[in-house]
Chain A
Amino acid sequence: MPGISSVLNIAQSGLRASQLAIEVTGNNIANVDTEGYSRQVLLLEEAMSINYSPGQLGTGVLATQVVRLFDKFIELQYLDKSSTASSYEAAYGALQSVEALFNESNTSGVSSALSQFLSDLQELTLSPQDSAVRQVIVDDAENLLSMIGQMDADLASIQSQMEDYISQDVDRINDLAQEIADLNAQINQNTVEGSNNPNALYDLRDVKIRELASIVDIQYIDNGYGDITLMTKAGHTIVDGTSTFKFTFEQGKTTQQLTQSSTFDGQAYYDGNDEYEYTLQVVDAGSVTSGAGAATFRVSLDGGKTWLKDDNGDDILYSARPEDGKVQIGELEVWFGSSSNPDDPPADGNLSAGDSFTLVPKKAIYWYKAAGTAINVTPQTYANGTENTSRITGGSLEGYCTVRDVNVSAYRDRLAAFTESLVWEVNSIHSQGAGLSAFSYAMGSYAVADADTALGSRSSGLVFGDRLSSGVSSMYFYDAATGKLASAASFGFIDFDPVASGAQPFDPSVHSLNDVVDAINNTFGTFCTAQVINGALSVTADTGYTFAFGEDSTGLYAALGINTFFTGSTPTDAAVNTVVANDTNFLNAGHVNGAGELNTGDNTTALSLAGLSTKKVTISTFAGGDTSQTLSGYYNSLVGLVGVDTQNAEYNYLYQSALADELASRQDSVSAVSLDEEMSNLIRFQQSYQAAAKLISTADEMFQTILGMKS
């Protein structure tokens, strides 16, 4: 019933509301610089009214709840942009390091070393018998290879650094998922809809979600009452209420998808590692065998979008081989074995058309379903540059994986292709030339896996086997004492079929290393003995003879590493042939002339080698396709590619981060604390408090008046 005491109650509710409002304002002011803090306001409601004469009378004010000001829509947009910006930021940071490696403005590098080597070869044409010039060539070639090797090692180190970052990010995702799940539980416990809002917990959770979004792309689903579900854009759940799902960064797994009718019982295996994922798809049904009847399969490096093609544009078909017939595909040696032991043949080696296998020869990110099944979620870029949307597609994880698997991988592929072409082009010229001395012994530097397999076959294991062509190769044998041709029959082409008339040519699709050995022994057995040692060709002159090599239209000498300038084929193993390095007389500036003579002043081979500075060579990589450029031009285009990639990453980072910043400032305009506003609120609530206090003193005076009436 209204009366003086109800005035006191009304005043008291006003005092309490004002005091609470001042506390909320004070808390806002105190947290003005707190990262992730959202401004809070006290919600006030009118208290119930009482029916009375002259009508309803109010009973004061109710302070119902403290809410935070936060725009969820803008936050969702921000998380999206933030993921993309973080991806480019990570990529840009890493690519800056890569660009520094290729920058030769202050230091000498591969480009200048290559120019020096080509210039040395030019010098050799002028002084073909000058031992000093020869030594300089060897030294500068070693310097060039050392630079290439160092460049490759530095790039590998950046990839390894990316793996460290990826590993840290994956650990952080798991930690954040657990922390967010714990916060969900706490928010659930503390939420009373309409009266109690755990604002600090909401703020903390939003800070963690922002951090999560900077690592991986996320979808945010609010289930109400504090429960949220966070998933990657592709739908891999990270947090579902109080449950979490695990991500791991571990060695890639081989998976198989067999057709319904397939009886195959085994597994695909590989040796080596690569940044690409290899998808093998059986095209022609068959068995796993070293002989005829083997199943054939094609290979994709981008998840089955495009297939490796040959020069004619047809899919390259590989044969399904057991462990002893490993097939070389890109960086891997691939074979099929039993499910439990790679060395054993499959329990059932019958492959059906459509069976496919995915090999992941690198460390990859896996998402574990509740059932414990691992799903590969490593970011993947198709050959046309688009992303695989069923994987992770944003956040720093994507940036680091892209740098490791797309950018640096492509640079290393190109550097490897450049090195291989350099070695091949020099060797194929050099191996047909002659130095100042003839050989009494020559040992090949490239070995085969099986001396009975055709050298052109992908199972031969010969590094340059695919560069061989049909044709003829010639040798010359001399009298060791006089240096003259040993006899009228001591030179000519190696004959691959002594029964047929004339010298039969070499055919890489038919002839094996043993056939080469037999052909040499059949043709020139009087003067030398050829044999296979550790899978490589060895030719030893018989006593009293020496020998030299001449025209070779097949590339056989270069492919077997006989009479070559370089050995190896990759940035890691390429080196100057020790035969040449130890005795520069074996550096071939000249050639065996029409009369079968070695002339010291001859510069024929040197001229061909020097011609490499302007000769366009075809270089192929998966990412770069086929190009026809000079060696210098190819390397310079690689440097240009690094520059363009870095510039693109920089611009995209600036662009996406500007958009994310704009959204963050929009969110700030809603939830950030403005000291001016809080100060004016403080004064307003102080005035309210003073007014409520005045009401109490007024009620007191009214009581005094009534009490005073007694006397």
Chain B
Amino acid sequence: MTSRIIASLNRQEKALALLAMLQREEFTHLRVLDPTKVAGLEFSIHELLRQIAVERTELRAIYATIVPAAKRLSEVIHTFSEDQRQRAQALYEGIDRREQACSRQAELNFKMALGFYDQSRSCVEFIQKQLVPTRNVYTAAGRYARATAEPTLVSGRM
């Protein structure tokens, strides 16, 4: 059972290493504005996250076979031998470090994507602003169309 836990932790650490790599690659594609490659990578990242989630669910099930109420490594590690404990602890710390690195990289990727979004939105808003007439204009029906919605005391035809 212990070796299965260590194997699972090992897989998780490797998966997070791969996740970090994919995120860095995504950042590179974001920088050069390659949405096709970003979308492709996003699918891979989501699939990887799904696999990590499944791995963790299974790991909890293993913990529960050792100590029924256990949900974390710290609750079962006392049953490990000294060597296994050190190995599991090292893997656990490695997973934690990689998780934090992935989280930081995800934040950077998000910030970059949001930057592009804001920039594009400001361009669209500018164009929309240009399309709205700033003075009163005739419509196709021949009537004044109210271009601006400023409050006025008197309106309509005298």
Contacts and interface: CB of A to CB of B under 8 A. Distances in A.
Nearest to A665: B33
Interface in B125-140: 126
Interface string B89-116: 0000000000000000000100110011
Interface range on chain A: under 10, 10 to 19, 20 to 34, or 35 or more?
10 to 19
Contacts of B119: 77, 81, 659, 662-663
A666 B119 CA distance: 11
Contacts of A662: 33, 116, 119
Interface string B48-85: 00000000000000000000000000000000000000
Contacts of A81: 119
B146 interface: no
Contacts of B30: 658
Contact of A659 (B32, B115, B126): B115
A662 B121 CA distance: 13
Interface string A660-685: 01110110000000000000000000
Interface in A627-669: 651, 654-655, 658-659, 661-663, 665-666
Contact of A655 (B32, B33, B112, B126): B112
B108 A659 contact: no
Contact of B112 (A73, A74, A658, A666): A658
* B30, B111, B123: most-surrounded residue (chain A CB, <10 A): B123
A659 B123 contact: no
A654 B31 contact: yes
A611 B111 CA distance: 46
Given A74-B123, A658-B31, A662-B33, A651 B108 contact: yes
27 contacts: A73-B123, A73-B126, A74-B123, A77-B119, A77-B122, A77-B123, A651-B108, A654-B31, A655-B111, A655-B112, A655-B115, A658-B30, A658-B32, A658-B112, A658-B115, A658-B116, A659-B115, A659-B116, A659-B119, A661-B31, A661-B32, A661-B33, A662-B33, A662-B116, A662-B119, A663-B119, A665-B33
- The B contact surface, by secondary structure, is helix
A655 B119 CA distance: 12
Nearest to B116: A662
A663 B116 CA distance: 10
A654 B28 CA distance: 10
B55 to A, nearest CB: 31
Interface in B13-33: 30-33
Interface string A45-88: 00000000000000000000000000001100100010000000
Contacts of B31: 654, 658, 661
Contacts of B112: 654-655, 658
Contacts of A651: 108
Contacts of A73: 123, 126
Given A74-B123, A77-B122, A655-B111, 8 more contacts: A77-B123, A81-B119, A654-B31, A658-B33, A658-B115, A659-B116, A662-B116, A663-B119
Interface residues of B, number: 13
Contacts of B126: 73
Nearest to A657: B31
A662 B113 CA distance: 12
A659 to B, nearest CB: 5
A651 B30 CA distance: 13
Nearest to B127: A73
A391 B32 CA distance: 33
Contacts of B108: 651, 655
Contacts of A654: 31, 112
Nearest to B130: A73
A41 to B, nearest CB: 21
Interface string A116-143: 0000000000000000000000000000
A626 B21 CA distance: 39
A659 B119 CA distance: 8
Nearest to B31: A658
Contacts of B122: 77
A444 to B, nearest CB: 51
Interface string A334-359: 00000000000000000000000000
Contacts of A663: 119
A651 B108 CA distance: 8
A277 to B, nearest CB: 32
Nearest to B120: A662
Contacts of B116: 658-659, 662
Nearest to A73: B126
A659 B114 CA distance: 11
Contacts of A658: 30-33, 112, 115-116
Contacts of A659: 115-116, 119
Nearest to A660: B119
A323 B119 CA distance: 57
B56 to A, nearest CB: 30
Nearest to A81: B119
A222 to B, nearest CB: 16
A73 B125 CA distance: 12
A662 B31 CA distance: 9
Contacts of A661: 31-33
A467 B32 CA distance: 56
B114 to A, nearest CB: 10
Contacts of B111: 655
B32 to A, nearest CB: 8
A73 B115 CA distance: 18
